[in-house]
């Protein structure tokens, strides 16, 4: 019996069941959470392991979806109780959303524990969880080659000291426009990014939604637009899908160079464009490598000068 390929990437984040209403439709108990979207995207490119927690109500059908993507589930904890749940409604422009309810349930007591082979993975993505938990994961890793971390306004408000500790220990920080301004107190994104670079990371990646993303380093700035679409059915998880595709592509190549980072941003943008075409992970479940390759080619054509 052949052994599975060694894990190249570990992703730590939330796993949830979402109830989402958009102008297109409303669906309940959809598989969601940052780890779900990021792992699904990354699994197209590199052997990936998930670290998260679910409750005893997390049905076999959800696990079967994960197994369909082929990522490793040894780091997924199952605890007695209910799985994290979130519900929200999107406005007509699909940019603004209103949270209706958040139930942490078993996620409130989540303590990440990495299996031994996870600790040796060269690439790590710390999705949006409490900075104290991100630090706990970093303490378990054995000299990862490249670490990406995400954050949000909540942690900037209530856990800033721990967040700054995380930022000092990672290679790339990703956050959106408002979070970059909030964290640094700077209005201009370029100024905010340069300030964050001074805190320790080699790279800052600022997500701009439908306007793409900006990568900053001491060597300069790189802009990647979002892949243009005719329609969006559910934008939930777009940022996590982008991040999963981004670090999955890096892990697949094994090197972190300026060229590799730019290629990873291209990949992240394209795979995120598929994700928003349907609710939950439904579009990614049907995505073929041929579909992906065609859109990559089309996007490169759009970007030519």
pLDDT of residue 214: 97
Q: Percent of the chain having pLDDT more than 90?
A: 92
Cβ proximity of 177 and 152 under 8 Å? no
- pTM exceeding 0.85: yes
Q: Is the pLDDT of residue 240 over 50?
A: yes
pLDDT of residue 5: 64
Q: Is the pLDDT of residue 2 over 50?
A: no
Domains of the chain: 9-303 (3.40.1190.20)
Q: How far is CA 41 from CA 130, 135, 221, in A?
A: 22, 24, 25
Give 92-135 pLDDT, tens digit per residue: 777 778 899 999 999 999 999 999 999 999 999 999 999 999 99
Q: Is the pLDDT of residue 234 over 60?
A: yes
Q: How far apart are CA 260 and CA 245, in angstroms?
A: 13
The H-assigned helical ranges of 185-288 are 189-197, 238-253, 258-275, 282-286
Region 71-88: what's the mean pLDDT? 97
pLDDT of residue 4: 56
Region 253-272: what's the mean pLDDT? 96
pLDDT of residue 3: 54
pLDDT of residue 210: 85
As a whole number, the mean pLDDT across the chain is: 95
pLDDT of residue 1: 38
Give 192-217 pLDDT, tens digit per residue: 999 999 999 999 999 998 899 999 99
pLDDT of residue 6: 84
Q: How far apart are CA 185 and CA 192, in angstroms?
A: 8
Furthest-apart CA atoms within the chain: distance in Å: 57
Give 137-191 pLDDT, tens digit per residue: 999 999 999 999 999 999 999 999 999 999 999 999 999 999 999 999 999 999 9
b/e 250-266 (16+ beta carbons within 10 angstroms → b): bbbbeebeeebbebbbb
- CB-based contacts of 135, cutoff 8 Å, min separation 6: 162, 165, 166, 169
What are the tokens at 26? 């409303």
Which stretch of DSSP H or E encloses residue 66? Answer: helix 60-69
Can you say how many angstroms the Cα of residue 219 is from the centroid of all Cα atoms in its chain? Answer: 25
For 136-241, list the strands marked E by DSSP.
146-150, 172-176, 203-207, 213-217, 220-224
């Amino acid at each position: 019996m052949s052994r599975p390929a060694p894990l190249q990437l570990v992703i730590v984040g939330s796993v949830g069941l979402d109830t989402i209403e958009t102008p297109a439709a409303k669906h309940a108990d959809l598989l969601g959470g940052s780890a779900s979207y990021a792992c699904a995207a990354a699994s197209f490119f590199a052997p990936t392991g998930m670290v998260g927690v679910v409750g005893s109500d997390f049905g076999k059908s959800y696990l079967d979806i994960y197994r369909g993507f082929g990522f490793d589930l040894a780091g997924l904890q199952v605890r007695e109780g209910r799985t994290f749940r979130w519900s929200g409604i999107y406005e007509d422009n699909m940019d603004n959303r209103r949270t209706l309810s958040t139930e942490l349930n078993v996620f409130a007591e989540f303590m990440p524990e990495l299996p031994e082979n996870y600790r040796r993975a060269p690439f790590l993505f710390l999705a949006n969880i409490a900075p104290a938990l991100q630090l706990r994961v970093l303490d378990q890793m054995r000299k990862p080659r490249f670490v990406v971390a995400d954050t949000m306004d909540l942690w900037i408000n209530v856990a800033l000291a721990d967040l700054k500790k995380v930022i000092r220990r990672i290679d790339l920080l990703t956050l959106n426009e408002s979070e970059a301004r909030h964290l640094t107190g700077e209005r201009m994104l370029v100024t905010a990014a340069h300030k964050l670079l001074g805190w320790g990371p080699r790279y800052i990646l600022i997500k701009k939604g439908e306007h793409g993303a900006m990568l900053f380093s001491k060597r300069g700035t790189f802009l990647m637009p979002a892949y243009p679409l005719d329609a969006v059915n559910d934008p939930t998880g777009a940022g996590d899908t982008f991040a999963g595709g981004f670090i999955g592509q890096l892990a697949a190549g094994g090197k972190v160079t300026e060229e590799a980072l730019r290629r990873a941003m291209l990949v992240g943008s394209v795979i995120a464009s598929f994700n928003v075409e349907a609710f939950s992970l439904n579009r990614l479940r049907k995505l073929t490598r041929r579909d992906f390759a065609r859109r990559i080619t089309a996007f490169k054509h759009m970007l030519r000068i």
